[in-house]
């Protein structure tokens, strides 16, 4: 009860009014007077403090005074420094490029041009076997090799069309190998030859004498060899494990030209795919030889 009365007494003291008079020093004439209390003085002081704080905060955030705030000034200065440095680097690069251009242009005008010899670059060996082959390139290469082979055949007095009147029935074909025919000639199904199964490492023989016009590997048929014979006859031997002749070689009828195998995408086991072409058209080899 006493504490409450003491608090009320203190608060009442704050409300006690006081008069503030302003007098002239010489005549003591009253100039102005104010009626104040301690509560009013405290209120005025607090109000002025809050207003001053608001003004300071606004000045810091919206005026250059914010640079005086510890930490904030460092961030801003670093950012500006980075931008200024980037700009300086760009200007320096531009000046260097302009200077180089001016020097080169001056040398051209004065004829003082210096040529640098190219550095010796060691030649690198290319593994052509690892290069993926393109079907169109292979066909073009085979065509060119065939033309070269024909020229070589003429120079060696091998006549491609030795006997135009000779029929296929009059020609003695030698079977490339003896074995079981697993797939016959079916032109309607785009199977333009016969598949012959024989023991592993069996030698594949040329059915007639002629010149080798192709001896290479293809994606679909693997190791393949083609031979040009007389009377517009061409024979092909595909899916071999290895080839024994190269382009341009002359082979006799019955001479080994390859070893039976299982190479290429269009095969599912060791066999020989043998094709016989006459005047640019495929014919059935079984009509002219027994395997």
Q: Are residues 58 and 194 in the same domain?
A: no
Residues in contact with 90: Cβ distance below 8 Å, sequence separation at least 6, in sequence order: none
| pLDDT for the residue 31 | 79
- Mean pLDDT, the chain, integer: 78
Residues in contact with 248: Cβ distance below 8 Å, sequence separation at least 6, in sequence order: 148, 149, 152, 211, 212
Better-scored residue on pLDDT, 240 or 64: 240
Residue 291 in contact with residue 181, Cβ under 8 Å? yes
Q: Are residues 49 and 169 in the same domain?
A: no
pLDDT single digits (tens) 65-89: 666 666 555 555 567 777 888 888 8
Q: What is the full DSSP assignment across 61-114?
A: HHSGGGGGSTTHHHHHHHHHHHHHHHHHHHHHHHHHHHHHHHHHHHHHHHT---
Residue 116 lies in a domain: no
User: How far apart are the C-alpha atoms of 260 and 115, rounded to whole Å?
Assistant: 60
Give the CATH number, domain containing residue 277. Answer: 2.70.70.10
User: How far apart are the C-alpha atoms of 224 and 264, rounded to whole Å?
Assistant: 9
pLDDT category at 259 given cuts 50, 70, 90 is very high
Residue 18 lies in a domain: yes
Q: Are residues 42 and 164 in the same domain?
A: no
Question: Residue written as tokens 């095969």?
Answer: 267
Question: Residue written as tokens 């007389």?
Answer: 230
Its domain, for residue 184, covers 137-287
What does the pLDDT average to over 38-52?
Answer: 87
User: How far apart are the C-alpha atoms of 228 and 208, rounded to whole Å?
Assistant: 9
User: How far apart are the C-alpha atoms of 111 and 129, rounded to whole Å?
Assistant: 50
Q: Are residues 53 and 141 in the same domain?
A: no
| pLDDT for the residue 8 | 59
User: pTM of whole model > 0.75?
Assistant: no
pLDDT single digits (tens) 199-209: 888 999 999 99
User: How far apart are the C-alpha atoms of 255 and 64, rounded to whole Å?
Assistant: 101
pLDDT single digits (tens) 117-167: 555 545 555 555 555 656 566 666 666 665 665 565 555 545 544 555 567
Residue 118 lies in a domain: no
Q: Are residues 149 and 258 in the same domain?
A: yes
Cα end-to-end span (Å), the chain: 134
Of 282, 251, 260, the C-alpha closest to 174 is 251
**Domains contained in the chain, number:** 2
Q: Are residues 62 and 178 in the same domain?
A: no
């Amino acid at each position: 009860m006493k504490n409450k009365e003491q608090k009320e007494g203190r608060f009442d003291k704050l409300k006690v009014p006081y008069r503030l008079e302003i007098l002239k020093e010489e005549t003591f004439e009253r100039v102005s007077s104010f009626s104040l209390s301690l509560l009013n003085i405290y209120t005025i002081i607090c109000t002025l403090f809050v207003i001053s704080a608001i003004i300071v905060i606004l000045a810091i955030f919206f005026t250059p005074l914010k640079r005086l705030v510890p930490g904030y000034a460092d961030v801003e200065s670093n950012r500006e420094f980075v931008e200024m440095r980037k700009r300086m680097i760009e200007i320096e690069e531009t000046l260097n490029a302009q200077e180089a251009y001016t020097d080169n242009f001056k040398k051209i005008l004065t004829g003082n041009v210096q040529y640098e010899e190219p550095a010796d670059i060691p030649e690198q060996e290319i593994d052509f076997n690892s290069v993926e082959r393109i079907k169109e390139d292979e066909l073009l290469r085979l065509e060119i090799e065939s033309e070269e082979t024909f020229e070589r055949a003429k120079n060696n007095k091998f006549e491609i069309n030795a006997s135009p009147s000779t029929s296929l029935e009059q020609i003695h074909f030698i079977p490339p190998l003896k074995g079981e025919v697993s797939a016959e000639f079916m032109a309607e199904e785009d199977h333009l030859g016969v598949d012959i199964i024989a023991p592993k490492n069996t030698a594949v023989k040329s059915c007639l004498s002629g010149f080798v016009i192709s001896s290479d590997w293809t994606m679909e048929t693997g190791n393949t060899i083609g031979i040009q014979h007389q009377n517009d006859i061409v024979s092909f031997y595909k899916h071999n494990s290895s080839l024994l002749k190269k382009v341009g070689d002359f082979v006799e009828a019955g001479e080994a030209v390859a070893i039976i195998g299982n190479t290429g995408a269009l095969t599912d086991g060791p066999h020989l795919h043998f094709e016989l072409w006459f005047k640019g058209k495929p014919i059935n080899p079984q009509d002219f030889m027994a395997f």
